[in-house]
Amino acid sequence: MDDNKKVVVIGTGFVGMSCAYALLNQNVCDELVLIDINEEKAKGEAMDLNHSLAFSPAEMRIYSGKYADCNDADIIVIAAGVNQKEGESRIDLLKRNKTVFQSIIQPVIDSGFDGIFLIATNPVDIMTYITKELSGFDKSKVIGTGTSLDTARLRYLLGHFLDISPKNIHAYVMGEHGDSEMIPWSQATAGTKPILSICKDENSLKKIADDVKYAAGEIIKAKNATYYGIGMALVRIIKAILNNENSIITVSAYLDGEFGFHDIYAGVPSVINRSGFREIVEVKFTDEERNQFTESCNFLRTTTDKIRN
């Protein structure tokens, strides 16, 4: 790898641009390329970001590009997608987003890209699967944001509830990034203390779990879209990759026999480093937690089967 850290963001909507803005503010890479089917939009966004360089700690090269620019990129972030039409089923939306991804992945591959795909487009577990299928890349090089944002929401809400910094809350949301996601509470700690030993009030924990699950819906009701949180989650994962951190993040990772599942993507605590996804971290579920996780993966299994070739 040369020293030039290069990230390409495909899809310069709310999510893609929140990621780009956070990359700039955190001075994460040396080169940032913006690509969108709406070329004018990508061009305008690049101009706008460039005008902030005078006030930024970053010496970043930012421009709107073409797929050929993916050639020597380290990471391709995909936040491109279409929205659900009225009366459209989830599967129909998925099929249209699969068509969007077909128009993206092939030219990226044709550019000679050999880095890591990081997917944010929803439903993220399925779109990540589709990326692996379309690219033919190894599982280590295709990951999705998975339940990283849900985990951040959980850490924030638990920290607020316990009056402890979210940075010292070690708790994970797992499974689908969606309604069937689950929390292995038996594994959650604040510093060294198990959450279940310091909070005996099941209702409070249930409320926190519901608030995590329904957060996106609440935000969308209030402001039509969610983007800052996912933008920061993307940047967290990008930093773990570029800085070879070996950090544990609940990305959407390819299950290859882990937890008894094969050939699906699901949100699981994973070690992330310069080669992308390294491995899944073992989780010691209680029986009830295992059933919840299995149910979530069964849902992902069924949806994946409906959409694959």
Binding site for ligand NAD (CB under 6 A): 10-16, 36-38, 41, 79-82, 100, 103-104, 120-122, 124, 145, 149, 177, 225-227, 230
Q: Which is nearer to ligand NAD, 120 or 169 (CB)?
A: 120
For tokens 């773990």, name the residue: 240
Report the C-alpha gap between 139 and 248 in whole angstroms.
Answer: 17
Q: Which is nearer to ligand NAD, 27 or 38 (CB)?
A: 38
Q: How far is the CB of 129 from ligand NAD (least distance, A)?
A: 14
Q: Which residues are catalytic?
A: 177
Q: How far is the CB of 95 from ligand NAD (least distance, A)?
A: 14
- Counting beta carbons within 10 angstroms of the beta carbon of residue 71, is it exposed (0 to 12), middle (13 to 18) or buried (19 or more)? middle
Q: How far is the CB of 84 from ligand NAD (least distance, A)?
A: 9
- Measured from each CB, the residue nearest to ligand NAD is 13
CA dihedral 187→303→157→152, nearest 10 degrees, is: 80
Comparing CA positions, the residue from 267, 155, 150, 169 lying closest to residue 217 is 150
Q: Which is nearer to ligand NAD, 172 or 285 (CB)?
A: 172
Q: Which is nearer to ligand NAD, 37 or 68 (CB)?
A: 37
Q: Compute CA 5 distance to the chain's CA centroid, rounded to the nearest angstrom.
A: 20
Comparing CA positions, the residue from 116, 85, 112, 100 lying closest to residue 35 is 100
Q: How far is the CB of 42 from ligand NAD (least distance, A)?
A: 8
With vertex at residue 139, the alpha carbon angle to CA 133 and CA 142, rounded to the nearest 5 degrees, is 70
Q: For 208, list phi and psi in degrees, rounded to 5.
A: -60, -45
